[in-house]
């Protein structure tokens, strides 16, 4: 047996550098060595330069498969190319019709939208349930709020391990429960019911009877409060409602947040593989919903304390089902009002970017390709460093004169929320100097603030300065006033082409006109293609067909 002699420890990559160096050096100087087609089956030929050759079909297939389908090709896919001089266009098309392509497109857009809201708190503990272990070992659902437990039982404790009917044989599920003195506390028993997060097949759970109350109204002192609205936790006569629909659990909150991410990505699917125009991603009033989100919007979102996420249903939202089923995860199309604008008003985008400035800044980065950078020097001329108007304050104004009008486009959506607030009264005199939580959330309450009593979003919407006038105009135009110019000017197309180019090429395009390799022409052509066709697959196809993508170097 003849064994091979040990070769020098050299990799294919370093070998290529050696093999390519002489002819490419010559080619670079214009000596007669031509850039010949590279035949991978032939032994290495030292007389030609392969630096700018198209890569071998197998190499291109691997590139395409990893870039478009996020996975390496199988050996069968490679071997199918055995007699091919290049990757057939049908193969490229097939790669763009797969489930993996849809998943890649989702990931590409997640890179832009950062649409994970798993860390968002939809509410605090005062309308949340968690479990405790009863003396007998069973789990029982009880309020997660110490204050609410005290309100129900005098002390911060849980109900007794007995059915409520053992305390009150005539007890009817949902009523205010009688209790028995236990130490300083007065404890009720438990009841069994099917909670909203269970299907009927999943069966019942045990819940403390106080938490399972279903009364529509309760008393907070002498005031009547609605049990299906925020503030209900102040009343011992308010429980979590029928099937516990007015209270969150940790897992139900997680389910809702996961559904929000999926909701955003369904919008992406629609424009990447669903055939809708790509620009409709930021303009469409069509959206997606399921039972989980409808249930949340109808029953749970109104319970959130106003210091938390605000997502109340508004007339500008799609109508809700009369009795949404929380466990129904089937997605259906919904038609939203004209205030909505593609993914920009979806829950995940609004909650991921909790302020209008953040929303506008992310929009500007994604769709305008523009980034704010802090000024290198402080700006101290003709300005007040303590000006409450950030568009006039020294230094700050350099960015905020641009940002604030853009942010105003999003101002119909609540800060730290995803609910529309365009139906709130523009001015509320009672809020001036008020400590009311709703006033503090939405209105300027400071008497010496800018426009006391006015909605905060309208504080600088006037004609006092050109920036204020721009803010006013953006509020009046809403999101269409932001998206339409970006689309019609070609900025949307150019920005998305640059994102895609950067993704596929592994580097941004060279746009410096002084660079001899400037790629402005390619970007212009691709941008025009996207403007003309408004087709995501089409622009992906065009980029992966470029020589720049298919060459070795």
**Stretch 512-531 residues interacting with another protein (CB under 8 A):** 516-517, 519, 522
Do the beta carbons of residue 81 and residue 61 sit within 8 Å? yes
Do the beta carbons of residue 122 and residue 258 sit within 8 Å? no
Q: Give yes or no for residue 115 binding another protein (CB under 8 A).
A: yes
SS3 225: strand
Q: What is the DSSP letter of 118?
A: T
Site for another protein (CB under 8 A): which residue of 3, 170, 373, 435? 3
How far apart, in whole angstroms, are the C-alpha atoms of residue 171 and residue 177?
Answer: 7
Do the beta carbons of residue 365 and residue 491 sit within 8 Å? no
Q: Which is nearer to another protein, 352 or 456 (CB)?
A: 352
Q: Give yes or no for residue 510 binding another protein (CB under 8 A).
A: yes
Q: Give yes or no for residue 86 binding another protein (CB under 8 A).
A: no
Site for another protein (CB under 8 A): which residue of 161, 175, 484, 548? 548
x/- contact string, 123-142, with another protein (CB under 8 A)? --------------------
SS3 144: coil
- CA dihedral sign of residues 457, 461, 464, 467: positive
Closest approach, Cβ 11 to another protein, in A, equals: 4
Q: Which is nearer to another protein, 79 or 166 (CB)?
A: 79
Residues between 14 and 33 with contacts to another protein, criterion CB under 8 A: 14-15, 17, 20-21, 24-25, 27-31
Stretch of residues binding another protein (CB under 8 A), selected from 202-210, 337-345, 430-438, 545-553: 545-553
Nearby residues of 288 by Cβ (< 8 Å), 6 or more positions away: 263, 266, 267, 331, 332, 333, 334
Q: Give yes or no for residue 47 binding another protein (CB under 8 A).
A: no
Crossing angle of the two packed helices 250-272 and 536-544, in degrees rounded to 10: 70
How far apart, in whole angstroms, are the C-alpha atoms of residue 297 and residue 300?
Answer: 6
In 256-323, which ranges are E strands? 286-289
| Longest CA pairwise span in the chain (Å) | 103
Q: Which is nearer to another protein, 113 or 310 (CB)?
A: 113
Stretch of residues binding another protein (CB under 8 A), selected from 249-257, 307-315, 329-337, 544-552: 544-552
Q: Give yes or no for residue 58 binding another protein (CB under 8 A).
A: yes
Do the beta carbons of residue 70 and residue 107 sit within 8 Å? yes
Residues between 439 and 458 with contacts to another protein, criterion CB under 8 A: none
Q: Which is nearer to another protein, 201 or 514 (CB)?
A: 514
SS3 491: helix
Q: Give yes or no for residue 504 binding another protein (CB under 8 A).
A: yes
Site for another protein (CB under 8 A): which residue of 432, 505, 528, 541? 505
Q: How many CA atoms lie within 13 A of 419 on its CB side?
A: 21
Tell me the CA end-to-end span of the chain in Å, nearest whole number.
41
Q: Which is nearer to another protein, 34 or 332 (CB)?
A: 34
How far apart, in whole angstroms, are the C-alpha atoms of residue 293 and residue 257?
Answer: 9
How far apart, in whole angstroms, are the C-alpha atoms of residue 478 and residue 339?
Answer: 7
Give one DSSP letter per residue of 38-84, joined into a string.
P-TTSPP-TTS--TTSBPPHHHHHHHHHHHHHSSPPPHHHHHTTTT-
Nearest Cα neighbor of 400 from 333, 470, 347 is 470
Q: Which is nearer to another protein, 54 or 478 (CB)?
A: 54
Stretch of residues binding another protein (CB under 8 A), selected from 158-166, 421-429, 466-474, 510-518: 510-518
* Site size with another protein, rule: CB under 8 A: 75
Q: Give yes or no for residue 1 binding another protein (CB under 8 A).
A: yes
Residues between 59 and 78 with contacts to another protein, criterion CB under 8 A: 59, 61-63, 66, 69-75, 78
Stretch of residues binding another protein (CB under 8 A), selected from 13-21, 208-216, 367-375, 423-431: 13-21
Closest approach, Cβ 65 to another protein, in A, equals: 8
Q: Which is nearer to another protein, 89 or 118 (CB)?
A: 118
How far apart, in whole angstroms, are the C-alpha atoms of residue 391 and residue 396?
Answer: 7
Q: Give yes or no for residue 169 binding another protein (CB under 8 A).
A: no
CB atoms within 10 A of CB 442: 21
Q: Give yes or no for residue 156 binding another protein (CB under 8 A).
A: no
Residues between 304 and 363 with contacts to another protein, criterion CB under 8 A: 352
Site for another protein (CB under 8 A): which residue of 36, 37, 40, 217? 40
Residue 515, token pair as written in the block: 């660079």
Stretch of residues binding another protein (CB under 8 A), selected from 4-12, 188-196, 286-294, 461-469: 4-12
x/- contact string, 256-295, with another protein (CB under 8 A)? ----------------------------------------
């Amino acid at each position: 047996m003849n064994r091979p002699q040990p070769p020098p420890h050299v990799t294919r990559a370093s070998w290529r550098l050696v093999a390519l160096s002489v002819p490419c050096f010559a080619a670079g100087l214009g000596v007669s060595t031509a850039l010949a087609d590279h035949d991978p089956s032939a032994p290495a030929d030292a007389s030609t330069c392969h630096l700018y050759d198209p890569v071998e079909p197998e190499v291109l297939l691997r590139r395409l498969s990893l870039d478009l389908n996020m996975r390496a090709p199988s050996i069968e896919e490679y071997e199918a190319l055995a007699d091919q001089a290049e990757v057939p266009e049908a193969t490229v098309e097939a790669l763009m019709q797969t489930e993996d392509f849809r998943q890649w497109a989702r990931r590409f857009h997640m890179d832009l939208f950062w649409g994970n809201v798993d860390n968002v708190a939809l509410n605090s503990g005062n309308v949340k349930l968690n479990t405790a272990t009863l003396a007998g070992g069973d789990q029982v659902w009880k309020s997660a709020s110490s204050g609410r437990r005290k309100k129900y039982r005098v002390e911060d404790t849980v109900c007794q391990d007995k059915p409520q009917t053992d305390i009150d044989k005539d007890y009817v599920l949902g009523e205010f429960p009688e209790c028995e003195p236990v130490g300083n506390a007065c404890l009720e028993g438990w009841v069994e019911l099917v909670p909203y997060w269970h299907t009927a097949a999943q069966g019942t759970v045990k819940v403390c009877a106080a938490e399972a109350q279903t009364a529509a109204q309760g008393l907070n002192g002498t005031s009547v409060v609605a049990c299906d609205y925020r503030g209900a936790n102040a009343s011992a006569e308010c429980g979590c409602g029928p099937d516990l629909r007015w209270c969150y659990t940790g897992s139900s909150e997680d389910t809702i947040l996961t559904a929000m991410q999926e909701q955003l990505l369904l919008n992406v699917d629609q424009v990447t593989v669903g055939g809708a125009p790509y620009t409709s991603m930021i303009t469409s009033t069509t959206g997606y919903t399921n039972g989980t989100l409808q249930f949340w919007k109808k029953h749970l979102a109104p319970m959130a304390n106003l210091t938390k996420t605000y997502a109340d249903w508004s007339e500008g939202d799609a109508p809700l089902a009369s009795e949404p089923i929380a466990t129904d995860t089937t997605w259906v199309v919904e038609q939203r009002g004209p205030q909505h604008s593609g993914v920009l008003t979806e829950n995940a985008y609004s909650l991921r970017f909790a302020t209008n400035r953040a929303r506008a800044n992310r929009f500007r980065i994604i769709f305008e390709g523009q980034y704010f950078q802090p000024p290198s020097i402080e700006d101290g001329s003709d300005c007040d460093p303590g000006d409450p108007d950030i568009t006039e304050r020294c230094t700050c104004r350099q960015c905020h004169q641009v940002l604030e009008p853009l942010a105003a486009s999003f101002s119909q959506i609540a800060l730290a929320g995803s609910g529309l607030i365009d139906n709130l009264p523009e001015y509320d005199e009672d809020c001036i100097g008020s400590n009311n939580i709703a006033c503090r959330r939405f209105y300027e309450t400071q008497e010496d603030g800018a426009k006391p009593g006015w909605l905060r979003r309208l504080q600088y919407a006037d004609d006092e300065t050109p920036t204020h006038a721009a803010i006013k105009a953006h509020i009046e135009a809403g999101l269409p006033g932001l998206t339409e110019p970006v689309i019609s000017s070609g900025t949307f197309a150019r920005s998305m082409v640059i994102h895609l180019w950067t993704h596929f090429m592994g580097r941004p395009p060279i746009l410096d006109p002084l660079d001899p390799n400037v790629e402005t022409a390619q970007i212009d052509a691709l941008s025009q293609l996207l403007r003309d066709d408004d087709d995501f697959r089409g622009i992906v196809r065009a980029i992966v067909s470029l020589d720049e993508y298919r060459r070795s170097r």
